[in-house]
Amino acid sequence: MNALSKRTLGSAALAFGLSLAAPAWADASFNAMDNTLSISSLNVANVGLFCNVAVRLGSLGQWEFLSASECPASTSASDTYDMGTGILSLPHLDIPGAGEFINVSATLDINTWRWNLVSAESPQTGNPSIAACFSADKAVSYTITGAGNQQGIIRRTIGPATYKGQAVTGDTEFFSTPTHTTQYLGITSTEVTILATVYQNGDVLTYSPTNFLWAPLSIQPGQSFDRRYTFLLNASPVLVSDYHTSFVGYETIILAGRSFSNVCHFREHTVSTPGGIVADAEWWFAPGYGAILFTNTSSYGDSGSYQYAGSL
């Protein structure tokens, strides 16, 4: 990850609501409607730890303290502020329309009362790759907005996991019922595969041949591949599906004010038996976030879509 200069973001000032539109932070948020900055936990050097901090940007440009509360004993704060140096440090910052940034450092200019960016890094820099689209080096949770038969999905958590002693990526979808399912993804030197899908009630969906090929790492935009799998629910065959999958390419898309780069876009045509079910789906996988956008049209009646709706 390369450090971003002030010019990279277009403006040196992160002046909450003055020069950028309503940044939404991982552990803090800024409401441009009432100019209120809310921080869940803040460690102020040589002062102490504070929770539920709220300050407002006043009409004269000064920050007005509104409220704060004591933190539970087990609380830790990743957001920090040093009054001596005037440095605000944020491990994770979302800027609507600009993207996601990590390891952000900013200083408070007491003359203008604006936060001036010192440095930041982007987790999505570097060359795009299939492996990156299916990987997550840290746990990330976000809300989902669904439509049609997919409207029951409300949240996703993706991150490092272990399945049968193997280091994998765990991708959990939470439903409004409330239930959840976890898909375990393995990445080898040549391909991305689904090892299994585990349901909340303990049922396990596996595949024959073993491990469902999601994509070869060598696939290039415009290429496609075919495969056939038998789905096994608790080792009993339930469905046979033929897949034709095309890799459209790498894209940049904006959802809920966040810009995702190096997104892997796939199209998939499926015919399944019994029943002769025909489905056409499209998937967009973002590095560190997994499937942020999905659409599906099916003769089975489970047509619908879902998309990323904001980080938690």
pLDDT tens-digit map of 153-164: 899 999 999 999
16-25, 54-63, 131-140: which range is least confident on average?
A: 16-25
Is it the case that residue 84 has pLDDT exceeding 50? yes
Is it the case that residue 8 has pLDDT exceeding 60? no
Q: In terms of domains, do 113 and 134 share one? A: no
What was the pLDDT predicted at 6?
26
Q: In terms of domains, do 160 and 46 share one? A: no
Can you tell me the mean pLDDT for 1-19? 29
Q: In terms of domains, do 163 and 82 share one? A: no
The residue from 121, 146, 161 where one domain ends is: 121
- Cα–Cα separations (whole angstroms), residue 188 to 128, 135, 195: 17, 12, 12
What was the pLDDT predicted at 127?
72
Q: In terms of domains, do 260 and 111 share one? A: no
What was the pLDDT predicted at 23?
34
**pLDDT tens, residue by residue, 111-125:** 666 666 676 665 555
pLDDT band at 148 (very low <50, low <70, confident <90, very high): confident
Which range in 21-25, 226-230, 271-275 is most confidently predicted, on average pLDDT?
226-230
Q: What is the CATH number of the domain that holds 237?
A: 2.40.360
Which residue, chain included where needed, has tokens 């040093």? Answer: 82
Q: In terms of domains, do 139 and 116 share one? A: no
What is the tally of structural domains in the chain?
2
What was the pLDDT predicted at 226?
97
Is it the case that residue 216 has pLDDT exceeding 90? yes
The residue from 121, 156, 181 where one domain ends is: 121
How many contiguous H segments (helices) and E segments (strands) does the chain have?
1, 24
83's tokens: 């009054």
58-62, 108-112, 245-249: which range is least confident on average?
A: 58-62
Q: Which domain holds residue 242?
A: 130-311
- Mean pLDDT, the chain, whole residue set: 80
What was the pLDDT predicted at 3?
30
What was the pLDDT predicted at 60?
57
1-15, 66-80, 129-143, 228-242: which range is least confident on average?
A: 1-15
Is it the case that residue 294 has pLDDT exceeding 90? yes
What was the pLDDT predicted at 227?
96
**pLDDT tens, residue by residue, 197-210:** 999 999 999 999 99
E-strand ranges in 200-257 read 204-208, 212-216, 224-233, 236-255
What was the pLDDT predicted at 57?
65
Strand-strand pairing, 166-175 and 191-199: unpaired
Q: In terms of domains, do 170 and 286 share one? A: yes
What was the pLDDT predicted at 126?
59
What was the pLDDT predicted at 293?
94
Portion of the chain with pLDDT greater than 70, in percent: 74
Helix then strand then coil, % of the chain, to nearest 5: 0, 65, 35
Is it the case that residue 179 has pLDDT exceeding 80? yes
What was the pLDDT predicted at 115?
64
What b/e string do you get for 130-149 counting C-beta neighbours within 10 Å, with b at 16 or more?
Answer: bebbbbbeeebebebbbeeb
Q: In terms of domains, do 41 and 164 share one? A: no
The residue from 80, 104, 121 where one domain ends is: 121
Q: DSSP label at 9? A: G
